């Protein structure tokens, strides 16, 4: 009898406990839960920068190549690799018997340049007229070949000629700026014309190949069907190579810090250009591959990135190593929280949990332009002073439960202990 | 003759405890009392440290980390004090009530009440372990009629009241009944049983009523301060 009673009691108690656990923890439970939250963090504002560290090299701003038709044309070379040459300097003595063909090439080049010069001069006149008109009246007559678009006090002037440059100028003095740019182009054309004129005016008995630019002779092809001579521009830029992943992060105009053994300080600079075409084998790239200890057979495509330094690098030899720190992302006055505290919403947007003033959790959308060291940088959605929460279980709730937090790690100061007041202490002890 | 008062042994043998108490002198009781006080202190501190019953303080954090932290410290300290009161009440208070109502010497009931307090602490520990494992807390205990009440009833008083009636309450009543029946030699079994049930029901009603009291408002009325209270 006693045995059966015990079995009956055990069964009833077990059934009772099972029912309770079902009522409390099953999916159909209607009993509100209080959720424990282990991780929480008060947001603080800070400036964040995401940097890309690259090995880079000093390179010429431009490489000019002078061609000569064939081996017989050149009597002998005056210049050799490493020589500094100035504009109009004799590079090679030419063979008199071959002069006619060279002269033809120079003449066609000459007429092309003359044509370009004429067009530039006419454009310059047009611009000057427009500037005068705009000074007398506000309405301006748009010239025949250029398109002027006004966007928020900024005027972009696109030139219709095949000169190929675009100017971003402010409304005030925009024409003056455009004229200055045209003048610069004109000067360049005139310089080339001067060299060609000198070339053409030479005495046929003692002709020479003249340098079109000032710079340093870098490479010469002395034999073969077509001879050439490369002249490095004196102006230097910094060149580095990036893979596809890095390419995606780069943009023109990004800020760069440059460090080199030859410099005793950090030089600032900007990204000048990012090539969309993979780099072909060249000497600089080979040096770069050695610097990065890259396997030359690596099949990945690399792209050339040019950085313009704010200070001159003219005293530093070409191909010398410079460390570049490219700031690919930056956010000022942003907040950050560990990446795993959030869920990806859509591109550049996260779903994060924060604490409301009534002590309950709420999901909010936060804008995150980038992540840094496993931290999601947040520019919008979580403000300074707000509390971010991390509790994956929260995603299973279809209501905002009351939450209680792990014991705070903050250590109050002596003053804070004193200032809290006996009433607050008593209340915290008595009132749950 | 002496006998050692061991919690583990007598927790399942109320009759034997009664026999031993009648025949011989007890040893090691007060050490156990101290141990139970310390165990309660530890359990209540752990619960408060982990955060049980601190959900109403959470909103303070949005204002100030320092205030929230100090509140949690004060609450932890309050729990420690409360653990002492809790054990003292179940040990001495309930023993006094039973002795008053049934007419058994107060001191003779203390060994039994220490065991009952241990059962209550075990219950609290079990509930805490379930909270800890699920990462959630509830206002009703899975060992009580609370979940049923919370699911099917609306009135807060009944939910609080039924939440006080637990499996442990039944075990305690059973233990007390057997012990007092043997030890006190009370012949009127049913009267004893109903008296014990009555005591527990009264305690449940009392606790449920306390839960309904607007303690925060009363606090402000007595001590002043707070919003809208001068």
Measured between beta carbons, the chain B residues lying within 8 angstroms of A382 are none
Q: Residue B144: closest CA among chain A residues belongs to which residue?
A: A20
Smallest CA–CA distance from B138 into chain A, residue: A33
Tokens of A262: 């030859």
Set of chain A residues whose Cβ sits within 8 Å of the Cβ of B223:
423, 426-427
In this structure, what DSSP letter does residue A42 have? E
Regarding predicted confidence, which is higher, A102 or B132?
A: B132
DSSP assignment of chain B equals: -EEE--HHHHTT-HHHHHHHHHHSEEESHHHHHHHHHHHHHHHHHHHHHHTTT-GGGTTHHHH-HHHHHHHHHHHHHHHHHHHHHHHHIIIIIHHHHHHHHH---HHHHHHHHHHHHHHHHHHHHHHHHHHHHHTEE-SS-TTBSHHHHHHH---HHHHHHHHH-BHHHHHHHHHHHHHHHHHS--S-HHHHHHHHHHHHHHHHHHHHHHHHS-HHHHHHHHH--STT--
Residue A315 tokens read as: 């005293």
Listed as own residue / partner, the contacts of A244-248 with beta carbons closer than 8 Å and 24 or more positions apart are: A244/A300, A244/A301, A244/A303, A246/A52, A246/A54, A247/A274, A247/A303
Q: Reduced to 3 states, what is the DSSP secondary structure of residue A347? A: coil
Of A16, A34, A356, the CB nearest to B136: A34
* pLDDT one-digit tens code per residue, A279-294: 888 888 888 888 887 7
Pairing of β B25-27 and β B2-4: parallel
Instruction: Note the pLDDT tens digit of each residue in B152-204.
Output: 998 889 999 999 999 999 999 999 998 888 887 777 888 889 999 999 999 99
Chain B residues closer than 8 Å to A359 by CB: 55-62
- The interface predicted TM-score (ipTM) is 0.86
Confidence of residue A142 (pLDDT cuts 50, 70, 90): very low
Q: What is the mean pLDDT of residues A158-185?
A: 59
Centroid of chain to Cα A420: 51
Give how far the C-alpha of residue B155 lies from the chain's centroid of Cα atoms, to the nearest Å: 23
- Both tokens of residue B160? 């609080």
pLDDT band at A148 (very low <50, low <70, confident <90, very high): very low
Q: How far apart are CA B183 and CA B13, in angstroms?
A: 13
Q: Pseudo-torsion of CA B19, B20, B26, B32, nearest 10°?
A: -80
Contact (CB<8Å) B150/A30: yes
Strand A63-68 relative to strand A321-338, pairing: unpaired
Instruction: Scan for tokens 């202190």, then name that residue.
Output: B41
Tens digit of each residue's pLDDT (9 = 90 or more) over A65-111: 887 777 777 777 888 888 888 887 888 887 777 677 777 778 888 88
Of B50, B58, B78, the CB nearest to A359: B58
Cβ separation B74–A424 shorter than 8 A? yes
What is the rounded distance in angstroms from the CA atom of residue B4 to the CA atom of residue A341?
55
On whether the CB atoms of residues A312 and A283 are closer than 8 A, the answer is: no
Give me B28's structure tokens. 């090691």
What pLDDT shows up at residue A284? Answer: 83
**Cα B48–B51–B55 angle (5° rounding)?**
120
pLDDT range class, residue B103, cuts 50, 70, 90: confident
Which of A41-50, A112-121, A154-163, A184-193 is least confident? Answer: A154-163
Say if residue B51's pLDDT is above 70.
yes
pLDDT band at A296 (very low <50, low <70, confident <90, very high): low
What's residue B108's pLDDT?
85
* Residue from B57, B72, B75, B136 whose CB has the most chain A CBs within 10 Å, to mutate: B136
What local confidence, expressed as pLDDT, does residue A189 receive? 84
Find, among A104, A63, A71, the residue nearest to A304 by Cα: A63
Paired residues of B118 in beta bridges = none
Q: Which positions in chain B touch A17 (Cβ < 8 Å)?
A: 142-143, 167
Substitution target from B12, B52, B57, B69 for chain A, most A beta carbons within 10 A = B69
Predicted TM-score of the model (pTM):
0.72
Structure tokens at A224: 């073969």
The residues near B195 (Cβ < 8 Å, ≥ 6 apart) are B101, B102
H or E, element range at A341: none
pLDDT of residue B81: 95
Token output for A29: 């439970």
State residue A96's pLDDT score: 72
Q: Distance (Å) from the C-alpha of residue B36 to the closest C-alpha of chain A?
A: 22
| A412/B70 Cβ within 8 A | yes
In this prediction, residue A159 carries a pLDDT of 42
Does an H or E element contain A135, and which?
helix A99-136
Q: Write out chain A residues lying below 8 Å of B66, CB-based.
A: 410, 412-413, 416, 420
Question: Per mean pLDDT, which of A25-39, A169-183, B33-47 is the most reliable?
Answer: B33-47
Across the range A220-243, mean pLDDT stands at: 83
Note whether B75 contacts A16, CB cutoff 8 Å.
no
State chain A's mean pLDDT as an integer: 81
DSSP string computed for A185-223: HHHHHHHHHHHHHHHHTS-TTS-EEEPSS-EEEEEEE-S
């Amino acid at each position: 009898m006693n045995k059966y009673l015990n079995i009956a009691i055990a069964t009833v108690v077990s059934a009772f406990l099972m029912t309770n656990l079902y009522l409390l923890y099953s999916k159909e439970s209607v009993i509100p839960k209080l959720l424990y939250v282990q991780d929480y963090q008060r947001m603080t504002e800070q400036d964040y920068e995401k940097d890309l560290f690259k090995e880079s090299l000093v390179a010429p701003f431009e490489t000019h190549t002078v061609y000569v038709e064939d081996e017989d044309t050149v009597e002998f070379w005056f210049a050799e690799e490493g020589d500094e040459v100035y504009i109009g300097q004799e590079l090679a003595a030419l063979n008199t018997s071959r002069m006619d063909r060279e002269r033809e090439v120079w003449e066609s080049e000459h007429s092309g340049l003359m044509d370009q010069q004429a067009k530039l001069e006419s454009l310059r006149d047009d611009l000057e007229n427009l500037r005068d008109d705009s000074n007398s009246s506000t309405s301006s007559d748009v010239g025949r070949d250029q398109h002027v678009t006004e966007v928020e006090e900024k005027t972009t002037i696109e030139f219709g000629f095949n000169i190929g440059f675009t100017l971003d100028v402010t409304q005030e003095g925009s024409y003056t700026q455009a004229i200055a740019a045209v003048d610069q182009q004109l000067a360049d054309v005139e310089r080339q014309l001067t060299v060609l004129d000198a070339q053409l005016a030479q005495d046929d008995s003692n002709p020479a190949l003249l340098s079109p630019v000032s710079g340093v002779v870098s490479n010469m092809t002395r034999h073969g069907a077509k001879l050439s001579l490369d002249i490095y521009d004196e102006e230097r830029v910094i060149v580095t190579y990036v893979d596809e992943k890095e390419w995606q992060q780069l943009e023109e105009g990004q800020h760069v810090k440059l460090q080199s053994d030859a410099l005793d300080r950090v030089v600032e600079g900007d990204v000048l250009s990012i090539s969309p075409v993979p780099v072909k084998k060249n000497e600089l790239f080979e040096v770069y591959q050695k610097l990065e200890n890259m396997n030359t057979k690596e099949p990945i495509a690399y792209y050339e990135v040019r950085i313009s330094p704010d200070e001159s690098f003219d005293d530093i030899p070409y191909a010398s190593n410079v460390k570049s720190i490219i700031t690919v992302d930056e956010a000022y006055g942003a907040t950050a929280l560990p990446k795993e505290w959030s869920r990806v919403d859509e591109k550049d947007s996260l779903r994060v949990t924060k604490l409301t003033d009534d002590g309950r959790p709420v999901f909010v959308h936060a804008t995150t332009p980038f992540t840094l060291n496993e931290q999601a940088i947040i520019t919008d959605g979580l403000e300074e002073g707000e509390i971010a929460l991390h509790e994956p279980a929260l995603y299973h709730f279809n209501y905002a439960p009351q939450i209680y937090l792990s014991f705070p790690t903050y250590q109050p100061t002596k003053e804070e202990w004193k200032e809290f007041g006996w009433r607050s202490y008593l209340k915290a002890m008595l009132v749950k | 003759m002496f006998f050692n008062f061991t919690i583990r042994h007598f927790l399942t043998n109320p009759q034997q405890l009664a026999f031993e108490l009648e025949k011989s002198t007890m040893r090691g009781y007060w050490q156990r009392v101290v141990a139970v006080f310390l165990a309660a202190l530890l359990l209540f501190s752990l619960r408060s440290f982990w955060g049980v019953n601190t959900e109403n303080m959470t909103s303070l954090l949005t204002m100030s980390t320092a205030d929230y932290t100090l509140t949690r410290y004060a609450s932890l300290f309050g729990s420690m004090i409360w653990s002492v009161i809790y054990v003292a009440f179940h040990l001495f208070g309930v023993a006094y009530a039973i002795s008053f109502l049934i007419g058994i010497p107060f001191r003779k009931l203390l060994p039994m009440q220490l065991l009952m307090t241990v059962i209550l602490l075990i219950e609290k520990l079990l509930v805490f372990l379930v909270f800890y494992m699920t990462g959630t807390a509830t206002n009703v205990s899975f060992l009580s009629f609370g979940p049923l009440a919370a699911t099917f009833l609306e009135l807060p008083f009944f939910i609080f009241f039924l939440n006080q009636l637990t499996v442990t309450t039944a075990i305690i009543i059973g233990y007390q009944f057997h012990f007092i029946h043997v030890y006190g030699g009370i012949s009127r079994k049913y009267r004893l049983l109903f008296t014990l049930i009555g005591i527990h029901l009264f305690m449940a009603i009392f606790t449920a009523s306390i839960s309904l009291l607007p303690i925060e408002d009363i606090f402000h009325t007595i001590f002043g301060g707070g919003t809208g209270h001068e």
